[in-house]
Structure formats: C-alpha cells, structure tokens
Chains A and B, each alone.
Chain A
Amino acid sequence: MNPPPSATAKRNGPALQATGLVVHLGGRFVLEVPSLAVERGEVLAIIGPNGSGKSTLLQALALLVPLTSGELYFEGESVHPGSDLVALRRRMAVVFQEPLLLNMSVRENVTMGLRLRGLSQSQVACRADFWLQRFGIASLAMRHARALSGGEAQRASLARAFALEPEVLFLDEPFAALDAPTRAELIESLVTVLRETGVTTVFVTHDRNEALALGHRVGVLMDGRLRQLDRPEVVFGAPVDLEVAAFVGMETVLPGRVLAQEESLALVQVSGSRVEVVSDLPPGREVLVCLRPEDVTLHAPHNGGPSSSARNRLRGRVSRLSPRGALVAVTVECGFPLVATVTRRSALDMALSLGQQVDVTFKASAAHLIPR
C-alpha cells in the first residue's frame, strides 16, 4: 500500500464531491450514492461485481452521464445544468476498458485531446513526446492505431489521458481486456506513473487485486449502492456485511455467537467448536465469522501442545480439493467447512487426499466478525 502523496494540492477540500447522487438510465435505477468525496491526490478504487453501477458512477463523476438528482462539486465548484461541461471535462481525462483509439496514427491519437483544447503545436509535441516515452510506445508513434496489439493500444490510451495533465483521472477497468502478463506489466507502469504524478484518480475495477495494488482507499459498490469505503486493509479485512465479504474474497463465512469477550478477544461458538477472534463485540451477539483462504494454514495432525491463545487450531478431514491456478483450495470439514489455499507444492508435500485428517490454524486477528 502506498501512502497518499503529501499535499500536492493547491487548494483545500476534496477534488470531487458528490452528495445525494442518483442516476437512472432509461428509467431504470442504476446508482444511489448519498455522499462521496474524492480527496485530492488520492487513488480511489471502486470495486464491485458486474452490473453494480461502477462504470455509471465513474461516468457520473466524469460528467459524462447526467445525474437524475444530486449535487456534484468539482474542485469546490458546483456542477449544475448550466455549467460549461466541455470546459470542466477538459480538466479531466478518462481511460476506458477498450482503448477506443481513432483511425489515425498513435501520435495523432495521443495528441488528439490536446489539439481539441487548441494548445500550441510546440506544447502538443512536447507533451506527446514525453508521454509516448513514459509509456514505452515512442517507437510506435508513427504506427497506425489499428496495427497495435491490445496492450500497446491501452498504453496509447493511457498516454493520451496523461498527456492532458488532468486534475482528475478516471480509469474504467483499463486492464480487463488484457491477458495476464500484459496486465501485470501495465499495472506496474501505472503504479509508478500514478505515484510520480500524484494525480487524483478514480479507478473502477472488478478485480480485487488491482484495487489492492493501486487504491489508497477502496469503495465497494453493489446494486448501485456504496456499501463500504475505507482503507484497503479495512475493506478486505473487515467487510461490513456478508455480500461485501463474499465479494472481497472471504470464502469462509460461518454463523456463530459470541460467548465471552476479554481484552478485544472474543470467544465465538461456531457449531461444535470455539474460536477466538479479535473483536470488541459483546457476548451474546450473533455474528458471522469471516476468513480468507490465504489466512488459513494446514498442518499434519499432532496431539498435545496447547494452541497459543492468539491462534485457533481445529481438527478436521479434507472434504474437497480444487486446483486454482498455482494454488489448491482445500476444504476441511471440522464441524463446518473451512477453506484454505496452499501452494501445489505443499499440497504434494503433505500428500493431501480426500478424507485425510489435518489440523487447520488461523490467527485470531485474521478472522473477522460481522455482527448480524
């Protein structure tokens, strides 16, 4: 996680602020966000499943979709129906999932936004050269846009946006259509450029890892509503509700009840077992215990040796093994199903097989309780 860049700002207050924002498209409800502020210099990642309204939120903030109701402030300036939207949009830039390059050379594409603004030739050339270079496509400048690969085209699209030196940058799933290696490369370039420029950025994605890699804050949008907005570790470690938990990758979600509470450590009854979880919830509360599979570790069963207070140890039998890329997801039945991921290598080393007895451990701080 990168800390937000220190005050690159000229003015105070958020770069973008929305209150009571409601968007209906074609008479259908799409989005309702009572309040949202994009702080100057921050990268705000908005995640959510497909159709959750992420793109609409981005387009509304980028002044590309009219609000059904609500108010929007851009750099403290109220945006209203009479505002000069073209002038305001010229202080922003948007990169979409598709590169959407025009039928002309790469260089002409990168300079298009600048030429629309009527900048002088020398300024246009200077900025274009810089950003073509910065995204590693200077050698492709004279190439026709249609002759580019997907990754090259998206680089051109990013260069075109950065060349505008926007006050706010909007990225709408810019990597979703790319293959994995290209995506990784481009994310790395983008992380560096974002850190260098410190530009205020709204980044929409359905990929949790991209949000973690780029976001200073993460917002979770579901069914058109912003369910949670916080630092990434909070959103991913302490999701506010079950749906957010499921979306951010809490695979194990178990109903339980707090039995006791002592020094921020709750003893929770889950089926026939008891687990300890870092939480301030009082005894008697019905809760959901959430666990990420990567926070659960597997061990060969051994007897004796009391488990440490901060570490939960449960015994169970392997009920399911499912390969997941370089990892294997192991479901262990210990009165309730618990999902853990291990590398293929350790799965081999442990000779995991169905029905095998194993111990699972997880830290009290790795689990998260959602009150019900």
Chain B
Amino acid sequence: MDLIVDGFRQAIALMLGLDRELLRVTWLSLQVSGSATFLSLLIGIPLGTFLALNRFPGRHLVISLVNTGMGLPPVVVGLFVTIMLWRNGPLGLLHLLYTPMAMVIAQCIIAAPIVTGLTLAAMQSLNPRLRLQLLALGASRWQMLWLLVREARLPLLAAVMAGFGGVISEIGASMMVGGNILGQTRVLTTATVMETSKGNFALAIALSIVLLLLVYAINLFLTHIQQQGRAP
C-alpha cells in the first residue's frame, strides 16, 4: 500500500516540478503519435471514402483486410517494420531503425486501418441518396466528396480519436523499432515499461498518469469539436 501512496506522492512532485525527462518523453510521444495519426488520416480517409463509394471486384476482400488490420497486433507491425528497416533489409539504406521516424512509420501502419475502417463505416452511414442529391445540385466530383466528408464529420472525428488512442498507448512496435533510447526514442509507454522493470514505481506511475491525462485531454478536445457540430 505504501508503495502506491509513495509512488503517487513522488509522481505528483515530478509533474508539478516539470521534470525535464518527463517533459521530453511526453513531448516525443505527442510528436510521434500525432504525426502518425495525421499520416494515417491522409491514407485512411481517402481510402475509406473510396471503399465506401465505389463497387469493384475484390472490394469485399479489401474491406475484410482493412477490418483485420483494425486489430493488427503492434508487435507484429514492429517485427515487420524492423525487418524492413534492418541494416541489411530492403530499406536499410535509409538508416531509419531506432529513430522517431521509424516509430512514426510503425504507428502509422497501426492507425491507418483503424482510420480507414471507421471512415468506411462513417461514409456508409450516410444516406446513399445524398450523393445523387449533391450531383443534382450541380456538385463536381470533388465538391461532392468534400461535402460527403463534411457530412460524416462527427463519426470521422471518432475515427481520429480511435486512431490516436490506438497509437499513443501502443508499446510493442515503438519498443522494437524505436529501441527506447534515452533522449531519442523514449516515449511514455516504453519509459513506463522500463521504469517498472527497474522498480522505479514513482516515475512509472507519473508516466502513466501523464499518458492518461494526455489521452483524456486530446479526446476532450476532439469531443468538444464533435459535439459542437451537433444539432441543438
């Protein structure tokens, strides 16, 4: 019991004292997961929209692949990204392994199917006749796509939240492709694992609390935007 109480007391002290290491780890987490989410939106929203609006042979196959991807184990992603970026691997020349960039790539691979799948669902939840109405209103193809995405903005924000939540709390891939290098690739989750294994419960607890607060703050922000867009 003492352990926990002590841990919390020290954690609060670290946070209030704006511990440099804590800040650096938090900032890197935000940067890596934020970039990965952003990239996954660039891939997932167009892909999900395409899958929702078009019929082509093999569409079901692609959709089931996306759905499988939504539950992709980060460790598996970490393994394959590591192999690809390995010094002698196909992309070894880029020297990306154990850099934040490698973590962004891995996290993007984790988030993209989540964003794609939820975008697909969001676009399919729109009235299919809306497309016809938009064309009838004189919308060009791009105007129509923009208005459809705009119509689906509430469920699309849920896709953003799910994508970000998925990667900021992920550990397996970050550990494998980042290496948890102090000052370079150490993020909240990898640091928490390490401190816990060293018996540094206070720091581990502080890191967890920061992680939770961070996820909460981001979701609060997105929820606020989302609910503002709702009808009274």
State the A residues within 8 Å of B (CB): 59, 62, 64, 86, 89-90, 92-94, 96, 98, 100, 102-103, 112-113, 116-117, 144-147, 160, 164, 170
Contact = CB atoms under 8 A, between A and B. Distances in A.
A145 B232 CA distance: 10
Given A59-B132, A147-B231, A117 B147 contact: no
A49 B38 CA distance: 51
A89 B133 CA distance: 11
A20 B53 CA distance: 30
B138 interface: yes
7 contacts: A94-B136, A103-B153, A116-B137, A116-B138, A117-B138, A144-B231, A146-B231
A317 B16 CA distance: 98
A116 B135 CA distance: 10
A100 B127 contact: yes
Nearest to A160: B137
B64 interface: no
B138 A89 contact: yes
Contacts of B135: 64, 89
Given A116-B138, A144-B231, 14 more contacts: A86-B138, A86-B139, A94-B132, A96-B129, A96-B132, A96-B133, A100-B133, A102-B130, A103-B150, A103-B231, A113-B138, A116-B143, A117-B138, A164-B137
B151 interface: yes
Contacts of A89: 135-136, 138
Interface in B122-147: 127, 129-130, 132-133, 135-140, 143, 147
Nearest to B148: A102
Interface residues of B, number: 19
Contact of B232 (A112, A116, A147, A160): A147
B139 A116 contact: yes
Q: Which of A62, A103, A113, A147 has the most CB of B within 10 A?
A: A103
A113 B129 contact: no
Nearest to A113: B137
Q: Which of B129, B132, B229 has the most CB of A within 10 A?
A: B132
Contact of A86 (B129, B140, B153): B140
Nearest to B55: A26
Contact of A100 (B130, B150, B153, B232): B130
Contact of B136 (A92, A103, A144): A92
Nearest to B229: A103
A113 B134 CA distance: 8
Contacts of A64: 132, 135-136
Nearest to B144: A116
Contacts of A145: 231
Contact of A90 (B133, B138, B147, B231): B138
Contacts of A62: 136
